[in-house]
Amino acid sequence: MLPFNPNQTLVTGAFEGEVGILRASGVFPHLQVMGIGNLEAAVNLSEYLFRNKEINHIIFFGSCGAYEWSGIPIKSVVSPNLVFTKELAHALKLSKQIPESPDSYQFIPDKNFHPVRCNAPTTITLTELKIPPEDSWVNLDVENLELFGIAKVAAKFSLSVTAYLVVTNLVGPMGSADWTKNWKDLSHSLQNQFLQK
């Protein structure tokens, strides 16, 4: 894991199960759950940062689904270097996505783990998605629901972000069921791995 100053670093995740072991360790003075989804995470992160101006780095712990074309297996731990928010409905020409500016944010990946390009849409993909729905998706590897909101707020506050995601499922119709089956054991393993470093 990358070195960091615990007094200036916010450790976070979407919900308590993703950071509960870290919280119980008592090692992290700034540890806060930010909520599920880009909007919830962004609002709660903004509020936290306004109250804690000493924070200069964010470490996010979470889960993700891998896009089948990435070849990344379930149980892998990945560390995003870029995050986007691309909506499947737009790619399938079922809706028009409101443009984001910028359309992506850079993270500081931990090079001990597979670096990935993460998509953070506002919805969970429930359809078959074996190949990229359009060219702009070809280089996307995984899908997480919070990281674009986290990244956008971090950029406004001029903060750096590192994320550790465990792959719980493949994106598609069975993704939610597989996530439900896998997240707890895999998240606990990731948190314990971080504490042992």
pLDDT digits (tens, 9 = 90+) for 150-195: 999 999 999 999 999 999 999 999 999 999 999 999 999 999 999 9
pLDDT digits (tens, 9 = 90+) for 26-37: 999 999 999 999
pLDDT of residue 99: 80
Asked whether residue 50 is assigned to any structural domain, the reply reads yes
Asked whether residue 24 is assigned to any structural domain, the reply reads yes
Number of domains into which the chain is organized:
1
Residue pair 97/86 in contact (Cβ under 8 Å)? The answer is: yes
Phi-psi region of 60 (alpha: psi -120 to 50; beta: other; left: phi over 0): beta
Dihedral sign of CA atoms 3, 6, 9, 11 in order: positive
Element (H, E) at 192: helix 175-195
Look up the domain containing 68 and give its range: 9-196
Asked whether residue 132 is assigned to any structural domain, the reply reads yes
Asked whether residue 23 is assigned to any structural domain, the reply reads yes
Q: Which residues pair with 9 in a beta bridge?
A: 57
| CATH code of residue 51 | 3.40.50.1580
pLDDT of residue 27: 92
pLDDT digits (tens, 9 = 90+) for 136-152: 999 999 999 999 999 99
The tokens for 14 are 């979407």
Asked whether residue 1 is assigned to any structural domain, the reply reads no
Q: How far apart are CA 183 and CA 75, in angstroms?
A: 9
Asked whether residue 35 is assigned to any structural domain, the reply reads yes
Asked whether residue 2 is assigned to any structural domain, the reply reads no
Asked whether residue 52 is assigned to any structural domain, the reply reads yes
